[in-house]
Amino acid sequence: MDATDYFGFAPDMGCYEYGIATSVNISGSIDLSIFPNPTNGILNIDFADQKIRRFVISDLQGKAVIEKTNEVKTQRLDLSGLESGVYIITFGTESGTFTNKIVKQ
């Protein structure tokens, strides 16, 4: 048996490599920009076609470090108070919930 025995696809070996998105555009569902990423402090978030109802920035242990509820299409965040590292940002919008990784330098 080799990798092609799995219906033409290699088996999932549990290893993944993730890049850092400087801007995200999820076609068909939302138009979202997050920049600059990585950031030294200021992070800009722009939902072109809908409002951000709620967002949470969490550390990798799942602890919320920033949480805001509002009805805006753009948001400018000052992350200078956070330690350098990787964070997860989760957005709640009219279309659902979206998650992305951000890096604070």
What tens digit of pLDDT does each residue of 9-60 get? Answer: 445 554 444 444 444 444 445 678 899 999 999 999 888 777 888 889 999 9
34, burial (CB in 10 Å: exposed 0-12, middle 13-18, buried 19+): buried
Please tell me the least confidently modeled range out of 1-15, 52-66, 86-100: 1-15
| Integer CA distances (angstroms), 87 to 6, 32, 64, 94, 100, in order | 35, 17, 10, 23, 9
pTM: 0.70
Domain annotation for the chain: domains and CATH numbers: 20-104 (2.60.40.3080)
| Predicted local distance difference test score (pLDDT) of residue 93 | 81
Place of tokens 């072109």: 48
User: What are the C-alpha distances in Å from 67 to residues 8, 25, 46?
Assistant: 44, 23, 17
Rounded Cα gap, residues 80 and 73, in angstroms: 22
Q: Are 20 and 34 in contact (CB under 8 A)?
A: no
Cα 69 vs. chain centroid, distance in angstroms?
Answer: 17
pLDDT of residue 30: 65
**Distances in whole angstroms, Cα of residue 52 to Cα of each of 11, 16, 62:** 37, 29, 21
pLDDT at 5: 46
